[in-house]
Amino acid sequence: MLFNKKPHKKNMNLMDGLMLKHFAKLKFSLLTMAALLVSMPVISTATANPGLMGKSLTKAKPITDSQKQKAKNYFTDTVLTTQSGEKLRFYSDVLDGHVVMLNVIYTSCQGACPMLTQKLSEVSKQLGDQFGNNIRFVSVSNDPERDTPEALAKFAAKQNVNMAGWTFLTGPKDEVDGIITKLGLYTSNFQEHKSTILIGNTRTGHWKKLQPNLPHQGIALQLQELAAEG
C-alpha cells in the first residue's frame, strides 16, 4: 500500500531526531550486542557504516549445509503466529533463504515503534520488486500477552505497511522472549526495548546491525547490498 504523498522533508527530519533521541535513552550496550552476535553460529557481523554506502560488495560464498544447520539450531524453529493468524517456524519459514530485516515493536507504543515502522515502510518502497520476494521484513512483538494477531494487523494497517513482504510475529511470552534474546534485543521492560535494526542474508550468513536514525534510503541500500552477495 502506497502513501498518498511523500512525507515533508522537515517532518522526516523531525521523525529522525525523535527516534535518535529515543535511541540514546535506551539501555543498550554495544559490547554486549557485539558479543551476542559473535556467538551466533557461522554468522559474521558488521556495523553499518554510511561512509561505505554505494560501494559494491564482493559476492559471498553460500553457507554450507553444516553451517545452515548451526544457524537453524541457533535461531530455532520456534513456532510463532503472524498478524493473519498463520503459524510459522521462525528459522525455516521466516528467515531461511532470504535477506531479512528484523526489529522489535509493541503495538501500544506511542513513540519510536510507529515512527520506525513508517520509516521502514518507506524503505520497502525503495526496494521495489525485491520486497516480498528476495527481501523480507520481520517485526517481533515484545509485548505478546497483549499483542494478538488482530492487534498486530491493526497496527500494521495504521502504519500503511505492505503486508506482502512484512511479517509481524507474536506468541507465548517465554517463546517470544527466547527469540528476542537470540536477536540480542531483549529487555525486561518491554517499553524500554531496543530500536536497533538487524539485517542479514541467511544464504551467506552475513549480518549487520543498523541504528534507527539511518536515512531510509541508506537502509534500503544496505539491504540491496546484502541481496547482491548472492
Ordered structural domains, the chain, with CATH: 29-228 (3.40.30.10)
Q: If we measure between CA atoms, which residue out of 85, 83, 96, 90 comes closest to residue 166?
A: 83
Residue 205 has pLDDT above 50, yes or no: yes
Q: What is the pLDDT of residue 150?
A: 98
Q: Looking at per-residue confidence, does 6 or 207 come out higher?
A: 207
Q: Looking at per-residue confidence, does 46 or 105 come out higher?
A: 105
First to last CA, the chain: 28
**pTM, to two decimals:** 0.77
DSSP result, 96-123: TTSEEEEEEE-TT-SSHHHHHHHHHHHH
Joined grid coordinates for residue 102: 528484523
At 20, phi and psi to the nearest 5? -65, -40
Q: In angstroms, rounded to a whole number, what is the distance separating the alpha carbons of residues 47 and 214?
A: 12
Per 3-state DSSP, the chain is made up of helix, strand and coil in percentages (nearest 5) of: 45, 20, 35
At 9, phi and psi to the nearest 5? -55, -40
Average predicted confidence (pLDDT) for the chain: 83
Q: What is the pLDDT of residue 143?
A: 98
Q: What is the pLDDT of residue 58?
A: 61
CA distances from 167 to 40, 48, 145, 220 (A): 23, 23, 18, 18
Alpha carbon 210 to chain centroid, angstroms: 10
Q: What is the pLDDT of residue 59?
A: 80
- Give, in degrees to the nearest 5, the angle at Cα 82 between 158 and 38: 105
> pLDDT digit string (tens) for 156-166?
999 999 999 99
Q: In angstroms, rounded to a whole number, what is the distance separating the alpha carbons of residues 23 and 181?
A: 19
Pairing of strands 197-201, 166-170: unpaired
Q: What is the mean pLDDT of residues 199-217?
A: 96
Q: What is the pLDDT of residue 16?
A: 52
Of 25-29, 61-65, 101-105, 159-163, least confident by mean pLDDT is 25-29
> pLDDT digit string (tens) for 69-85?
999 999 999 999 999 99
Of 9-18, 85-94, 174-183, 184-193, least confident by mean pLDDT is 9-18
If you ran DSSP here, which 8-state letter would residue 131 be given?
Answer: B
Residue 51 has pLDDT above 70, yes or no: no
